Amino acid sequence: MITEYDDLDALALAALVRGKHVSAAEVLETAQDRIARRNPALNALVTPLFGDARGEVAAGLPDGPFTGVPFALKELVVSVLGAPSTAASRLYADAMPTADSEIVARLRRAGLVILGKTNSSEFGLAPATESALFGAARNPWNTDFSPGGSSGGAASMVAARMLPMAHATDGGGSIRIPASCCGLFGLKPTRGRVSFGPEGAEGLGGLAHQHAVTRSVRDSAALLDVVAGPMAGDPYTAQKPDRPFLQEVGAPTGRLRIGFATTSPGGFDIDPACIAAVHAAARLCESLGHEVQEATPAFNAETVFADFTTVFLVGAATNVARRTGGELPAPGMLEPLTYAAAARGQKISAADYTLALARLHREARRVATFFERYDIWLTPTLTSPPRRIGFFDTATADVDAWFRRVVAFIPFTALCNITGQPAANVPLYWNADGLPIGCQFAARYGDEATLFRLSAQLEQAQPWQQRKPQLRVQA
């Protein structure tokens, strides 16, 4: 066992393996030990692939930046040959892929050891992780609370030190939401930065992205270097960065122009702790020499959130059609919310869907003008601290009320999916109850470099990795 495992990020673990201080087999054994003792309380890992992982290590791993580092994939979007691709749904419980996704192949080439798949909400609809198929994932800071979603299993594993980082996807905030709820760094890349091939061209009309939740900024940067770039045939891609993202970590930021928000698009209530977190982050940025002032981009919030909901309803219908050919399945095959959302999505015409996307693109252009004046927009990641298990109950068929509740929780994260901009949750604040409260930093389209430089500066000024949840674990 590696005694310092809990304190090491992925690059540090890889350095130990590269220097032959520990073996990849020892790292995997340690990760499995942590999972055996901590996962029962959290239900974060739902599809173990330990035998495959041991076989890969025994056969010899590729020489890459993460050789020997254990890793998990989200049970949504990506495919692993030999493991079901369930989308956290009974409808897909026995769906077997015929090949690895392109991102999985790239992760393997980087030397990562894939040891399982993590809990998600059904089709990624909920900002919590409580599927009927797998049950609720729990927050290691307090197991009465959700780790967020839909990448809640990934965030729970990383926060509980079962893994140093894990794959995550994001259609309305599903990297940043659980990163905020679990006290992690979580970056959603620019639209087109990471390929969805070969299974798909894009997700949710371009709203969906994938990357990871990590404990350190440098792990996120190095991992994005590994997975970024188009696959042959992709319909579009983000512009190539000037240099590797890892080189941005520790690079000078310059004096950035930062606008910050303490009121919500759409006028939703924001918990005082989330506002306090933004004020504290703004003061920290100012102390580091940046120009900081209160400012918010202009856009039609009512239109944006209505059309955002339309895209998700059509997405639910599409996920059903991909499996059934178009017919709704027996109700028991889907959670009531998913069934109702898919039924609504089927009734939306192609013209109405196309018009919704056109309106979202129009509003995204309005938001983009804000970033002609500012380098960064600082906001609460969420409008409240982590929610208790069951707050986003998918046993309801009231689609309109449920989506209003969701949008009220994620107005800041969802906007960056609509615009395609990169945005990161930075864990700088904990409330009086000891729960993490994240701040979102968004940059202009294609500019992950500035986010990595600023996030690394914040990490150095106010480190967060030493903060660990006191989880009750099995002996």
Q: Are 248 and 367 in contact (CB under 8 A)?
A: no
Residues 6 or more apart from 260 whose CB is under 8 A from it?
278, 281, 282, 292, 293, 294, 295, 377, 378, 379
Catalytic residue among 150, 156, 180, 455: 150
Catalytic residue among 79, 146, 174, 455: 174
Q: How far apart are CA 300 and CA 366, in angstroms?
A: 9
- DSSP codes, 299-366: --HHHHHHHHHHHHHHHHHHHHHHHHSSS---GGGS-HHHHHHHHHHHTS-HHHHHHHHHHHHHHHHH
Using only C-alpha atoms, what is the Rg of the chain?
A: 20
Catalytic residue among 74, 85, 121, 151: 74
**Active-site annotation holds for 150:** yes
Residue 468 Cα distances to 50, 244, 464, angstroms = 26, 30, 9
**Active-site annotation holds for 468:** no
Main-chain dihedrals φ then ψ at residue 423, nearest 5 degrees: -150, 145
Total Cβ atoms within 10 A of residue 4: 11
Q: Are 213 and 178 in contact (CB under 8 A)?
A: yes
- Is the torsion defined by CA of 249, 255, 257, 259 positive or negative? positive
Q: How far apart are CA 139 and CA 378, in angstroms?
A: 25
**Active-site annotation holds for 347:** no
Q: Are 172 and 152 in contact (CB under 8 A)?
A: no
Query: Catalytic residue positions?
Result: 74, 150, 174
